[in-house]
Structure 1
Amino acid sequence: MIEYLNIDRGIQMAQQCDKFIVTGRVQGVGFRYHTAHQGLKLGLTGYAKNLHNGEVEVIAIGNSENLEQFYQWLQQGPKTAKVMSVLRESLLSYTEKYSGFEIL
């Protein structure tokens, strides 16, 4: 888990970065679009990208409560997808910063 402070209007919030690998029918069904939308709704930044093996890699940065909600959502995904599994890993040395949630 990476933690750094995000100072916004005088409020300090501990942030962490999680990597998710989502398997199932998650490519060609709008999964990345819906994932980015859900991430933005939860105030997260990061990206969703298709992998060559049919999985989707998601990097999400935010507070632990919102990341947990995001993880719960990823396990279901949008109605168009069929999620089989979600692997979650906390990244200790992730230094990238995003201003939004990107679809790669």
Structure 2
Amino acid sequence: MSLPDSNTIQKRYIISGKVQGVGYRMFARKEALKLSMRGQVKNLTSGEVELIAIGSLDDHRKLNSKLQQGPILSRVDEVQVIDEPLSNFSTFDIVH
């Protein structure tokens, strides 16, 4: 595996609102894959969705914009963004 370039960063997103049971994880994964990002997305017991993504700053800006919108049946109240050290994700997965 090659080393990530210096423009590669990791962020954790915590999305709150009506984001479970509406296809939000599938939507988020699809949007991240369009940007060739790596990471994972999962439901939290709090009713929020957590997404960890690795990509360029520009990709994170684009992803954040999509996460704010969400799929048609969702209602996004807030997207918290937390900078994190890089992890070793090779794909983008939905965690069940």
> TM-score if structure 1 supplies the norm length?
0.84
Task: Tell me which structure has the larger Cα radius of gyration.
Answer: 1
The 1-side partners of 2:6 and 2:58 are apart by 11
Could you tell me which of 52, 77, 81 is aligned with 1:84?
Answer: 77
Aligned to 2:30: 37
Aligned to 1:72: 65
Amino acid at match of 1:52: T
Query: Please, which runs of 5 or more residues in structure 1 have no aligned partner?
Result: 7-11
- Spell out, residue by residue over 1:38-71, the C-alpha distance to the aligned partner (whole angstroms, 9 max, x if none): 0000111101100001000000000110011001
Query: Please, which runs of 5 or more residues in structure 2 have no aligned partner?
Result: none
The 1-side partners of 2:88 and 2:14 are apart by 20
Aligned residues: 93
Kindly report the root-mean-square deviation, in angstroms, between the aligned alpha carbons of the 2 structures: 1.3
The 1-side partners of 2:47 and 2:19 are apart by 7
Aligned to 2:44: 51
SS in 1 for 2:7: strand
Larger RCO (CA within 8 A; separation ≥ 6): 2
> TM-score if structure 2 supplies the norm length?
0.90
Could you tell me which of 88, 91, 96 is aligned with 1:100?
Answer: 91
